[in-house]
Amino acid sequence: MLESLRKLRGYLKISGVASISRRYFVLNSFDGAITILGVVVGAYSSGAVDSRIVIGAGLGATVAMGTSGFSGAYLTERAERRRRLHSIKKAMLADVSKSVHGRAMKVATLWVALVDGISPMLAAVVPIIPFFLNLAGFISVDKAVWYSIVSIMCILFLLGVFLGRISKESMLRSGGRMIVVGMAAALLSWLIGWL
């Protein structure tokens, strides 16, 4: 197991996918959280909050985002990595597909696709949990809505903190920016729900 992890780290280092993975993780987690925010606030503002509908719409969107993220990233990264391997092959006048670089490119493609597919699902599933609690009779639907919104704002804040840490900027300010974006998305969803 440790040997497999060491190999994985080595392949990821060779392929240089750390920054790509971070970008995909933040972008897609952000998308997952904002999508569920739109579902929850839109349902609430239209006066039709039914936990089953929110769960169904939320999970449907989550699966769609995860599938889209995984397949889109896999196909895109595969094309880019094959292009890079082809240029290495041309420069070295040898087939490098079975070399360490070739294996690293395959692992990197799968790794980036997994990060891209899983991150929006993780960020979207957490805010749906209060609606399961409502169905089980533990909390009211109004509390489920507010707990969901608070959890989304926490996710957005943490993503902002992560970006602040990466960019060596104020983590609080970066987290605050993400919350402002979340509030703007909530306001737009609220207005659309009134239409």
Of residues 137, 155, 117, the one with CA closest to residue 40? 155
Our CA angle for 19, 25, 31, nearest 5°, is: 135
Range of the domain at 59: 2-194
pLDDT at 36 (0 to 100) = 95
**95: phi then psi, degrees, rounded to nearest 5:** -75, 120
pLDDT at 161 (0 to 100) = 95
Structural domain count of the chain: 1
Alpha-carbon gap, residue 30 to 28, rounded angstroms: 5
Low-confidence ranges of the chain (pLDDT < 50): none
User: pTM for the whole thing?
Assistant: 0.83
pLDDT at 89 (0 to 100) = 63
141-183 residue pLDDT tens: 999 999 999 999 999 999 999 999 988 899 999 999 999 999 9
Number of residues that this document lists for the chain: 195
Distances (CA, A) of 38 to 10, 22, 51, 184, 188: 40, 24, 15, 11, 8
pLDDT at 112 (0 to 100) = 84
